[in-house]
Amino acid sequence: MRRRLSVAALVVALGVSTLPLTVSADMGPNGVYPMVFPIQSGVYNITDSFGDPRNGHTHEGVDIMTYGVKGLPVVAAAGGTVGWMAAQQGGNCCAMQIEHDDGWATRYIHLNNDTLNPDGSYSDDGQGWGFAPGIGPGVRVEAGQVIAFVGDSGNAENVGPHLHFELRTPEGAPVDPYLSLKAAVSQSELPLQRVTPELRLKVS
């Protein structure tokens, strides 16, 4: 299916941070950080909402909407190590950070936290697991590896499934990833990994 890129107004409240919003000279002459696009299947819409006002703070990432579809595979934008995870099943779930080999980091927020129904649809019970099997703090991941699945966890319940994606400098400052995401879309895609319903459920 053909992917679409457009800029649209969308208000999505996210967590508060005291880090300043910045633009980094380390991203190259075109302001592009090399990465793999973090959603490797489906139709989506990218909203350049970085820096937009939110409820008491500014938006520190870009929203990748998936038109109501949960469970699309999320892949690592670059190779590195899994850092922190919000991984309390049935509670504070599901989000994560990957610390890249070059010191930069990416964050993946509003991952799936709902269980899969027998017919392949998703419930809205908040008892699911948004991470791929084997993913945990300290685990090595490669660019393009499936790490999680799109959802509406956290304060995205009333917004719809999407991936809130952040790019951060080695100092931890958020940088607008919009141009980098657009550049990633235009590149040749990695072979897609087969994703089965079983892969979308937590493996004990």
125 in a domain, yes or no?
yes
State the pLDDT at residue 90. Answer: 83
What per-residue confidence (pLDDT) applies to 58? 76
Domain containing residue 103: CATH number: 2.70.70.10
Q: What confidence score (pLDDT) does residue 186 get?
A: 56
- Reduced to 3 states (helix: H, G, I; strand: E, B; else coil), residue 138 is coil
Tell me if 202 is assigned to some domain: no
Question: Residue-wise over 120-133: b if at least 16 C-beta within 10 A, else e?
Answer: eebeeebebbbbbe
From 192, 202, 181, 201, select the one nearest 49 (Cα to Cα).
181
Q: Give domain status of residue 183, yes or no.
A: yes
140: domain range?
A: 29-188
- Biggest CA–CA distance in the chain, Å, is 49
- DSSP H or E run through 182: helix 178-186
Domain membership flag for residue 58: yes
Question: Residue range 72-88: average pLDDT?
Answer: 94
Kindly state the percentage of the chain with pLDDT values over 90: 38
pLDDT tens figures, 85-119: 998 888 888 999 999 999 999 999 999 999 989 98
Structural domains in the chain (count): 1
* Residue 23 covered by a domain: no
pLDDT of residue 52: 59
With a cut of 50, say whether residue 37 has pLDDT above it.
Answer: yes
Q: Could you tell me if residue 15 is inside a domain?
A: no
Give the predicted TM-score (pTM) of the model.
0.78
- Reported as a pLDDT band with limits 50, 70 and 90, residue 149 is very high
Q: What angle do CA 4, 43, 125 make, to 5 degrees?
A: 135
Amino acid at 171: E
Return d(Cα 25, Cα 137) in angstroms, integer.
Answer: 29
- Range in 21-35, 64-78, 184-198 with the lowest mean pLDDT: 184-198
> For residue 7, which of 64, 60, 61 has the smallest C-alpha distance?
64
Q: Is residue 200 part of a domain?
A: no
Give the residue from 46, 49, 99 showing the smallest Cα distance to 77: 99
**Run of H or E residues at 42:** none
Look at residue 149 and tell me if it is in a domain. yes
